[in-house]
């Protein structure tokens, strides 16, 4: 049946209406509220909340954490996807399961595991104390927790893509005399670039927005170990609504930007996919 057969049906109208109402109530309204609350006392109050030292520190920390954890996950993700999609080896299914682990475990549990491992009372606590290395309640812990929760994004995006592309292109490059590195740089990477960018985008959005795992390991030290989401929570708990929403509006804008970039990438991705059929 063609789509036009549905055009005038009442059921279609009703379904569209329900979907729109749902989106407005649960997605659009909260988004508007964030900006409305943030600007409730005017633009100056909004600006003050964003340039205040603790907010700046939180933004810097969030950017730092993302700048470390996203590249790490790009490397891990490509390596894992490459090995899973292009080779057969014992333990492959175990590896696939482990990649999904961060999706199935509550981020709070992930944070707690790091506390148990690296905390002062944890397994590695005495050793770390001896060498004066602080991981928990410090930046390294936040990075570790973020890497953990964002681990699957790049790999998950690349595995089906690389599996579908198979090994022919790489073998063709090798048979033409290319080295392994030339093959990766000139054949593999261009083949996966849009999928990779998509994965990076989702990974970055999650890295900047992560709350649960980071909350457990951070220690909430103002100006030191507070990321943007944690800073929002603190401000909110102090009944400083305008500042809380002002900082939260940054995350909302990140989300909107991510959505726009995501839809652009999806279009490129589809185009590339649709045009390579044999």
Partner 1 sequence: MIKLNGISKHFGSFAALNDINLEVRDGEFLALLGPSGSGKTTLLRIIAGLAFPEAGSVSFNGEDVTDLKVADRKVGFVFQHYALFRHMNVLDNVGFGLSVRPRRHRPPKAEIRARARELLDLVQLNGLGDRYPAQLSGGQRQRVALARALAVEPQLLLLDEPFGALDAKVRKELRRWLRQLHEQMKLTSIFVTHDQEEALELADRVVVMNDGVIEQIGTPDEVYMAPGTSFVSGFVGDTNSLPVTVIDGVPQFHDRPIAVDAEGAADGPARLDFRPHDVVLDCDETGAVPMVVTGAYRMGGNWRVEGAVSGLSRVIEIDFATDRVPPKPGQRLAFRVTRARLFPDGKVRP
The residues of the shown chain that bind partner 1, judged by CB under 8 A, are 168-169, 171-179, 182, 186-187, 190-191, 272, 275-276, 278
- By the 10 Å C-beta count (0-12 exposed, 13-18 middle, 19+ buried), 43 is classed as exposed
**Nearest to partner 1 of 101, 176 (CB atom):** 176
Least gap, CB of 85 to partner 1 (angstroms) = 16
For the chain, the first-to-last Cα distance in angstroms comes to: 28
**Nearest to partner 1 of 4, 175 (CB atom):** 175
The alpha carbon dihedral of 194, 204, 66, 122 has a sign of negative
Distance CA(203)–CA(272), nearest Å, equals 22
Least gap, CB of 277 to partner 1 (angstroms) = 8
Helical segments of the chain, H only: 10-23, 29-38, 42-51, 53-86, 92-104, 107-118, 125-130, 139-165, 168-175, 180-183, 189-209, 212-218, 228-237, 241-274
**Nearest to partner 1 of 25, 189 (CB atom):** 189
Least gap, CB of 82 to partner 1 (angstroms) = 17
Least gap, CB of 274 to partner 1 (angstroms) = 9
**Nearest to partner 1 of 129, 267 (CB atom):** 267
């Amino acid at each position: 049946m063609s789509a036009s057969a549905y055009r005038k049906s009442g059921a279609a109208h009703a379904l569209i209406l329900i979907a729109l109402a749902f989106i407005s109530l649960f997605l659009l309204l909260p988004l508007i509220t964030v900006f409305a609350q943030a600007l409730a006392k005017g633009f100056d109050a909004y600006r003050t909340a964003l340039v205040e030292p603790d907010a700046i520190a939180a933004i810097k920390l969030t950017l730092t954490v993302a700048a470390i954890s996203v590249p790490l996950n790009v490397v891990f993700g490509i390596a894992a996807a490459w090995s899973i999609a292009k080779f057969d080896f014992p333990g492959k299914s175990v590896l696939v399961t482990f990649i999904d682990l961060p999706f199935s475990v509550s981020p709070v549990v992930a944070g707690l595991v790091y506390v148990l491992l690296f905390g002062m009372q944890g397994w590695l606590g005495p050793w770390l104390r001896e060498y004066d290395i602080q991981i928990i309640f410090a930046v390294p812990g936040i990075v570790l927790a973020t890497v953990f929760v964002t681990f699957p994004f790049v790999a998950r995006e690349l595995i089906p893509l690389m599996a579908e592309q198979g090994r022919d292109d790489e073998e063709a490059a090798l048979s033409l005399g290319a080295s392994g590195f030339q093959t990766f740089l000139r054949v593999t990477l261009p083949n996966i670039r849009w999928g990779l960018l998509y994965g990076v985008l989702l990974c970055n959005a999650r890295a900047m927005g992560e709350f649960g795992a980071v909350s457990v390991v951070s220690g909430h030290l103002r100006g030191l170990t507070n990321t943007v989401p944690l800073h929002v929570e603190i401000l909110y708990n102090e009944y400083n609504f305008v500042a809380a929403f002002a900082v939260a509006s940054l995350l909302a804008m990140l989300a909107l930007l991510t959505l726009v970039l995501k839809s652009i990438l999806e279009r490129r991705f589809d185009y590339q996919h649709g045009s390579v059929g044999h």
